[in-house]
Structure 1
């Protein structure tokens, strides 16, 4: 599914560049770019990917922690109700 979104994004970006007339400038930029420039651009893209991946992982971890703490709280409430004889 990720590949489909990536392909869709590339198509949309190409369409926008072509629509605005910037496609030729982009091609010229990459044709004149030295080899180390490709590595720099790839490093920036990879760094951005890892940042997004880390943020999503942190959100998942936070949700799991909140869910666990919520279960502990519900269990304590149920134990207190049983102790008081309300349930």
Structure 2
């Protein structure tokens, strides 16, 4: 995504958290986080980071694949055009010799 879109998403999340905090809607979540051991929070954070890395690398790989397919398509079309020119040239030579 573009950086500006990410900026809007982050700002929107911050505003949403602020509003929830003002209405004391996050008290249950905060008390739950305070009761959790530190290693559990680290594991959850690791899972989230791993998922983010997976989707990021999958998107990059998909972009590279589509770029490679496009390049190979151009090569194929170029070969087809060359073959068409050779056939037309061969037919023209056959007509001249006939």
Q: TM-score range by the shorter chain?
A: 0.7 to 0.9
Change in CA separation of 1:60 and 1:12 when aligned onto 2, cut-off 3 Å: farther
In the alignment, structure 1 residue 69 sits paired with structure 2 residue 72 = yes
* Cα offsets for 1:14-37 (capped at 9, x unmatched): 379x3xx74221111112221112
Matches of 2:16 and 2:43, distance apart in 1: 21
TM-score, L = length of structure 2: 0.67
In the alignment, structure 1 residue 43 sits paired with structure 2 residue 46 = yes
Unpaired segments of 5 or more residues in structure 1?
A: none
TM-score, L = length of structure 1: 0.74
- 1:25-36 alignment runs, 5 A limit: 25-36=28-39
Greater relative contact order (CA < 8 Å, ≥ 6 in sequence): 1
Moved over 6 A (4+): none
Matches of 1:13 and 1:37, distance apart in 2: 25
Q: Which of residues 19, 23, 27 is equivalent to 1:24?
A: 27
State the structure with more CA Rg.
2
Give, in angstroms, the shift of residue 12 of structure 1: 6.5
Q: Count how many residue pairs are aligned between Structure 1 and Structure 2.
A: 85
